Chains A and B, each alone.
Chain A
Amino acid sequence: MAVSLLSRLAASTTVPVFAVTGGGGCPLVSSLRTDPRARLVASPRHAAVLVIAGTLPPRLVGPVQSIHDQMPHPRFTALAGTQEDPTNWGKAVVADSSDPIQSVVDGFRALVAGRHASEPDWLPDSPPAEWRGVGPFGQGGEGMMGGKPFGRPMAEMAPDRDGLMLDALNVGVGPFHPALPPGLELRLELHGDVVADVGLQPNPYLELGKPAEKSYALFEQAQREAVPIARVETLRAAHLLGTIASAVEVAGLESLGRRLRTRAADPSGGDQRGLSRLRRALIAGVRWSARGVVRLPAEELQGSGLGPTARASGVEEDARLDDAGYLRLGFAPITRSSGDCLDRLLQMLDEAEQALELASKAGTGSTSGNVVEGVHGVPGSGSSPALLSLIEEHVPGLEWSDAVSFIASLGVDLQDIALAERRVVE
Chain B
Amino acid sequence: MSAVASWALEVAAVVLMLGVGAYAATVLESAIARIGAGVSPGPTLLLAPLRKAAWLAKQQTVRTERPDVIGWMVATAGLLPLAALAASLIPLSSTWVMADFESGIVLWGAVEALIIVVVFLRGWSPNSTFSLIGGYRFVIQAFSYTLLSMFVLIAAALPAQSLSIQQMVVTQQGLPNLVKQPLGLPLWIVIIVGVSFRGPLNLPDGRDLAGGTSVESSGWDRLLWEAGRAPLLVVFSAMGATIFLGGWLGPWLPGPVWVAVKTLVVLLLALVVAQALGRFRPESFVEMAWTVLLPVGFIHLFQAGVTALP
Contacts and interface: CB of A to CB of B under 8 A. Distances in A.
Chains A and B bind each other:
yes
Contact of A259 (B37, B58, B222): B37
Contact of A250 (B52, B62, B208, B211): B208
12 contacts: A6-B54, A9-B55, A10-B51, A43-B211, A46-B211, A46-B222, A112-B55, A179-B207, A249-B207, A254-B37, A285-B276, A289-B281
A60 interface: no
Contacts of B39: 36, 258
A13 B50 CA distance: 9
A279 interface: no
Interface in B151-189: none
Interface stretch (A87-95, A204-212, A385-393, A400-408): A400-408
Given A258-B39, A288-B284, A400 B34 contact: no
A43 B202 contact: no
Contacts, number: 150
Interface in B267-286: 275-285
A166 interface: no
Interface residues of A, number: 54
A154 to B, nearest CB: 12
A7 B279 CA distance: 35
A45 B216 contact: yes
B215 interface: yes
A42 B215 CA distance: 8
A252 B278 contact: yes
Contact of A401 (B206, B211, B215, B218): B206
Contact of A6 (B33, B57, B200, B280): B57
A97 interface: no
A171 B129 contact: yes
Interface of B: 33-39, 47-48, 50-55, 57-62, 129, 133, 136-137, 199-200, 202-203, 206-211, 214-219, 222, 275-285
Contacts of A72: 59-62, 218-219
B277 A288 contact: yes
A264 to B, nearest CB: 13
A289 B48 contact: no
Interface in A240-258: 248-256, 258
B36 A256 contact: yes
Contacts of A281: 276
B216 A13 contact: no
Contacts of B34: 255
A169 B208 contact: no
Given A179-B206, A288-B280, A289-B281, 4 more contacts: A12-B51, A72-B60, A255-B37, A284-B276
A10 B277 contact: no
Contacts of A43: 210-211, 214-216
Interface in A267-302: 281, 284-286, 288-290, 293
B281 A401 contact: yes
A284 B277 contact: yes
Contacts of B282: 193, 399, 401
Contact of A288 (B50, B215, B281): B281
A27 interface: no
Contacts of B215: 42-43, 45
Contact of B278 (A36, A253, A400): A253
Interface in A1-23: 6-7, 9-10, 12-14, 16
A48 interface: yes
A73 interface: yes
Nearest to A155: B129
A289 B38 contact: no
B211 to A, nearest CB: 4
Contacts of A409: none
A262 B38 CA distance: 9
A333 interface: no
A73 B137 CA distance: 30
A177 B281 contact: no
A193 B206 CA distance: 13
A396 interface: no
A16 B219 CA distance: 12
A303 interface: no
Contacts of B211: 41-43, 45-46
A208 B72 CA distance: 43
A178 interface: yes
User: Which of B34, B214, B278 is the most central at the interface, judged by chain A CB atoms within 10 Å of its CB?
Assistant: B278
A62 interface: no
Interface string A123-149: 000000000000000000000000000
Given A14-B48, A36-B39, A46-B218, A402 B129 contact: no
Interface string A62-80: 0000000010111000000
Nearest to B215: A43
B33 A255 contact: yes
Given A255-B34, A258-B37, A289 B279 contact: yes
Interface in A219-241: none
A46 B225 CA distance: 13
A171 B53 CA distance: 33
User: Which of A6, A36, A252, A253 is the most central at the interface, judged by chain B CB atoms within 10 Å of its CB?
Assistant: A252
A311 B28 CA distance: 41
Kindly list the 4 A-B residue pairs having the minimum CB-CB distance in the complex, ordered from nearest. A255-B36, A251-B278, A9-B54, A72-B60
A9 B50 contact: yes
Contacts of B52: 13-14
Contacts of B38: 258-259, 262
A68 B148 CA distance: 44
